[in-house]
Structure 1
Amino acid sequence: MKKDEAFWPPVDPVRAGLAGRCPRCGEGKLFSGFLTVGRRCASCDLDYGFADAGDGPAVFVILIIGFVVVGLALWMEVNTNAPLWLHFLLWVPLTLVLSLGALRLIKGLLIALQYRNKAAEGRLDRSR
């Protein structure tokens, strides 16, 4: 990532990331689609070429939503002994809705934290 030399007041990365806003100015949109990161910020002209959350958002969603849904399903099974069709009717739609909602939030958060911490791809020093 190139060094950002522009002066912008500090933006809270958590607030900007969860809102899907530019990590530098907090005003422009981060996403051009549901999960597609835009090319640049419309407000401050920050190039989003550095933004690569990779598989991080999917891993966090699997761990968090999986913990919640499996915990609720186990609790329901132990306390009510519900039939299998009821479990499918409840937990499959809940998993889809929670996962899709959380995926965008976590992706925005990870990109904002990546910008704030100046995280970049690791490089080997081959000059030695």
Structure 2
Amino acid sequence: MQPAAEMEGHWKRLSPMETGPFGRCPRCGEGHIFRGFLTVRDHCEICGLNYDFADPADGPAVFVQLFACVPGVVFIIMLEILAQPGLWVHLAVGVPVLILTTVLPLRPIKGWLIAAQYVNKAQEAGTAQLWAKLHGNGAGD
């Protein structure tokens, strides 16, 4: 059996939407990205892909704040406008709604961002690479 590093070119290209939201390895689609709820594994247990490249940073939280929690906040505001319930109703209904719309999407979004990083070979640009891109790879100096 060939080591995973030698088999790099033998993997079918998978869409980040096919693997990431389900927490599956972006290379083989079988292994797992996460060890816990949001903790990224060191490598895939099936194909051996090293997850050192995986750094979605604050991306999942930003997506949740911008898109996922908007329906929850709109729901709470509409509840106040239409029913004007007591504070206890807001606490009993609003807190679970906000938890569901903020915590639950974090894992699928983080998985999607990690899979997209792998598929697009995304990485942080160093200053040397950025300088070369901005100045036409150093031509004309």
Give yes or no for TM over 0.5: yes
Match of 1:77 in 2: 80
Match of 1:123 in 2: 126
- Rg comparison, structure with higher value: 2
User: Does the aligned pair in 1 maintain the 2:69–2:101 contact within 8 Å?
Assistant: no
SS of 1:24's equivalent?
coil
Match of 1:88 in 2: 91
- The alpha-carbon deviation at position 33 of structure 1 amounts to 0.9
Gaps of 5+ in 2: 1-6, 133-137
- The alpha-carbon deviation at position 64 of structure 1 amounts to 2.0
User: Does the aligned pair in 2 maintain the 1:65–1:95 contact within 8 Å?
Assistant: no
CA RMSD of aligned residues (A): 1.7
TM-score (norm 1): 0.89
Counterpart code for 1:101: L
Match of 1:101 in 2: 104
Counterpart code for 2:91: F
TM-score (norm 2): 0.82
Q: Work out whether 1:30 is the aligned partner of 2:30.
A: no
User: Does the aligned pair in 2 maintain the 1:51–1:111 contact within 8 Å?
Assistant: yes
Q: Work out whether 1:59 is the aligned partner of 2:58.
A: no
Identity %: 44
